[in-house]
Structure 1
Amino acid sequence: MLEGKKILLGVSGGIAAYKAIALTSKLTQAGADVRVIMTQSATEFVTPLSFQAISRNEVYTDTFEEKDPRKIAHIDLADWPDFILLAPATAHLIGRIANGLADDLLTTTLLAATKPVYVAPAMNVHMYKHPAVRNNMQRLDSWGYRFIEPGDGYLACGYIGKGRLEEPETIVSILQQEYTKTQRWNGKKVLISAGPTRETVDAVRFFTNYSSGKMGYELAKAAAREGAEVHLVTGPTQLSAPAHVKLYQITTAEEMFNQMTLLYEDMDIVIKSAAVADYKPVKQTNKKMKKKDGNLFIELERTKDILKYLGDRKQKQYLVGFAAETEDILTYGKGKLEKKNLDAIVMNDISNKEIGFQSDFNEVIFLTRDGTEKKITKSKKEEIAKQLITFIENEIRKD
């Protein structure tokens, strides 16, 4: 668990800094070796001496205090831990990290760090919901930072809502769970497709769909965290590239077909979550079509069926497809599972506007060839991705 783990705890300036003292105590009791970096603002709430007494280690506060001439403090601190924990992480700290600022010892150390970073936010509920804060957290998430969600309850400002630093016992429990996990897909090669495709009509128009790519990107993150070598083939999205993932950016269905088939042979697990165009214009032009009287007719032709092509050539690969339907979900899903020689299929109802395309939430049914059926009720796509990875792993172990 945490026995013998080296933890660098970053404490920033919020009232929740007092809970970081209890957190240091809990981590130390769990057998961890804890060193603390405090921002200048944090020292206004609690003293470095408190952390020093509990951790039995020196506390760091000043970028320019180089006590050992043989080392550069922020580089040495960045290299030392097994992982870094930011608790509490204020909106200001999150913003500085997300924008690459290095204006004190903590942010300078983080910029030099290559170890996993866990972030436990604490702030007013409205601050937590502010678009700037959400964007900054999303950016850090795309870089591989791992968030420990704040709790709901009474806040120091008098508000009641989400924003209070998670309890020290819960943070320690989450970290223990993280470090008792085995990387189940270590050594496995995983191919995932995500997002929409675009099929050109003329110089300014194209056919596409509502896919945001969020589900595929979350699957890529989850697979990478399990130790897999992940290859993500993605259509055009507004998402940042996931950390520790090989990204291939494509535009058309033809380009996705070519990239997927090129990589397919060496893969162990393939998850096709992309929403690929079934049709494309027969004729395309690099000039803008002018508006004319009357209706316009555009002839469409079928694109290559990527999933069927992969299913027909399946050897060692465990192949998973996705089915986005508006009616008779199970019927269409089972039909697709058989027709395309899949090992499993993930089905979801896109007629529900609160989930699916563009949303951070979804609700899916995981179905296998032997009839195993598991439903995941409405959850964040991040959580669904983790559960799907577990389902797939359990199915592979059966063979």
Structure 2
Amino acid sequence: MLTSRGVTRITRRAINTKKPSALFSTVAPALSRATLPAAGKPRQSANARPLQRPSILIRFFRAARTYATESKAAVGSVKTVIGAVVDVQFDNENLPPILNALEVQDFSGGRLVLEVASHLGENSVRTIAMDGTEGLVRGTKVIDTGAPILVPVGHATLGRIMNVIGEPIDERGPIKGVKMLPIHADPPPFVDQSTTAEVLETGIKVVDLLAPYARGGKIGLFGGAGVGKTVLIQELINNVAKAHGGFSIFCGVGERTREGNDLYHEMIETGVINLEGESKVALVFGQMNEPPGARARVALTGLTIAEYFRDEEGQDVLLFIDNIFRFTQAGSEVSALLGRIPSARFMSQPFAVAQVFTGYEGKLVPLKDTIRSFKEILSGQHDSVPESAFYMSGTIEDVKAKAEQLAKEMSGN
């Protein structure tokens, strides 16, 4: 729960797991405090404490976006389209920073947003599309927005269904009069967080008795398909909305369209979503049929909405991600599309029993050499060594010798 007295922070990294799971995540506030809601009426949180360090609050919001940076709108054109990966060529050296959002102009498929993933050189950047690229052709005009992806936040998002770029997909019209925030931001520093441990009362007997949820903590619901993970999430949203008066943000990462539709109508029936008045939940979906870029970023969209209620309104907020396995899967797909598959070549080692098959003599590597070698690799001392030199080598000295041999062979040719 994004509470006004949390104990931990949420990171923007997926939780490594190989089982399908739903994540119930809670986040500590930047500062425990009473704040003014959007309507301007003072609202005192039940557990709020006086603001002791206003300078920290100022620094926190000034540094809200540190990953992407504002820049002048550069104009480029599509150079290459390979599925969800789009290379964009710019006319000058004013390249957009990493994680900036680019918008494709005059695209027949509607609004298409690209997120900068890497700089390729020669005034080109490689981007990941947040929607389908069918119909996109070379030469199409692309404009740098000068900022990362911006999404709407605030009370106007409650009761609405949005996609990864904050556009409503519930056919209830645009979301008007809202503040826009970037999806990339730093978490609050540990020094600004409360260390008081509290239990969140969920109203579910088996949870409160056997596995109580801590305010400001993270909870993972692990289980196979069809065992009731999403059902439990729906009950938690309903109970917290009625018992605590807090808000909930539901992120459907890789959800089936049918599941999202059923969830929406069930929330209307239970009163969590009120089509005529204020609702208690906002829904953000990156569905199963969408590109990996959308599925990998939709959790950050939901997190941005939740952080607004936590930081600027002092509200208690629950953030649900269903499910975290598809979130990590989307991240793996994006890495594969960008060619960032991590190397495991140095983990290979010639075995004596396999010499007849590999042609390499077996190597026994002492533990000290293994630890030293990996420390040197992680520190970047061997970044200049070709990747092929790490394959079927023992110690790092063997790798260096193999690299020298490969260099001689290349120079001889």
Q: Which TM bucket (shorter chain)?
A: under 0.3
Determine which structure has the larger strand proportion and give its number: 1
Relative to the length of structure 1, the TM-score reads 0.24
Relative to the length of structure 2, the TM-score reads 0.24
